[in-house]
Structure 1
């Protein structure tokens, strides 16, 4: 059985109470201090095995999906996680059996600049790729010919390199490279 929650008035994982997931206090001193300040207990000093249950975190404090961006296509693939993970910057903020002012119900989170830049780059790359594919489809549609006579009629509108000499005859079209030595 996992450890019992250290939050005041929380009976999670006690005998006869339902079991819930718990989170060990972080090892990083800055995050550990933030968690310690967040728990409304006087002179509280967490030990090695001190835990907080999932009830003290907002739903937005959890990572519920895993994302991968394919470098070739620029597509972002997102898959749901079976077991949600706590975000690295999550701080316990919900203490139901304590005074209201000790709980933070609405998280005002802000996207990190690096993440925002990456998201915007991915989005602009996706838009450029979509435009490029659409232009190619339109160009293919415009340049599509279904018969030889259609090809001969459309030949003047095609942009051909000056390298080629194009000779259009009744039953054939010749593309020649004429060089004089």
Structure 2
């Protein structure tokens, strides 16, 4: 039987509730304390079996796929993860069925490594597009010159 969510009023993995992925409390002490505060349960001390379900995290907080770069082919390979996992440093922020003031909608900075990779991929795509455009323009100019020479002969 899957673990149930410990967030108040959540029905995650209960018989009449949605079937969801659950996550254990983090090992990092600072993050652990932030999770306890985010859960909003009075006098709560999590056990090793206490879990928080995916319904309490923003979609971008959950990793559903992984990417690797194949140096031989020069391609980026993406695969879906069988078991979802959380990105580093995320905190449960969405508390449905609770008063809205308990849910936090603050946004966090993108992690430096993720930002660096996103910017590098963007620059690489832009460079490839420009390179292809330049190559097509060069081919068009070459064809124009060749047709002018052919017409003269």
Shorter-chain TM range is 0.7 to 0.9
In the alignment, the residues of structure 1 paired with residue 125 and residue 97 of structure 2 have an alpha-carbon distance, to the nearest angstrom, of 47
The question of whether the paired residues in 1 share the 8 Å contact of 2:21 and 2:84 is answered with: no
Residues paired across the two proteins, number: 150
1:69 Cα deviation after fit: 4.8
Residues 73, 122 of structure 1: CA spacing in aligned structure 2 closer, same or farther, 3 A cutoff? farther
Higher alpha-carbon deviation: 78-87 or 91-100 = 78-87
In the alignment, the residues of structure 1 paired with residue 106 and residue 75 of structure 2 have an alpha-carbon distance, to the nearest angstrom, of 29
Structure 1 residue aligned with 2:134: 135
Structure 2 residue aligned with 1:103: 103
In the alignment, the residues of structure 2 paired with residue 12 and residue 125 of structure 1 have an alpha-carbon distance, to the nearest angstrom, of 41
Bigger proportion of residues as helix:
2
TM-score, length of structure 2 as denominator length: 0.72
Note the residue ranges of structure 2 that are not aligned, 5 or more in a row: none
In the alignment, the residues of structure 2 paired with residue 70 and residue 119 of structure 1 have an alpha-carbon distance, to the nearest angstrom, of 17
Higher relative contact order (CA 8 A, sep 6+): 2
Deviations 1:131-154 (A, max 9, x none): 22322333234335879x74x97x
Structure 1 residue aligned with 2:63: 63
Determine helix, strand or coil for the equivalent of 2:23.
strand
1:70 Cα deviation after fit: 5.7
Structure 2 residue aligned with 1:26: 26
Aligned-residue CA RMSD in angstroms? 3.4
Determine helix, strand or coil for the equivalent of 1:48.
coil
Structure 2 residue aligned with 1:158: none
Structure having the higher Rg:
1
Higher alpha-carbon deviation: 1-10 or 35-44 = 1-10
Structure 2 residue aligned with 1:123: 122
Residues 112, 20 of structure 1: CA spacing in aligned structure 2 closer, same or farther, 3 A cutoff? closer
1:91 Cα deviation after fit: 1.0
In the alignment, the residues of structure 1 paired with residue 114 and residue 21 of structure 2 have an alpha-carbon distance, to the nearest angstrom, of 28
TM-score, length of structure 1 as denominator length: 0.63
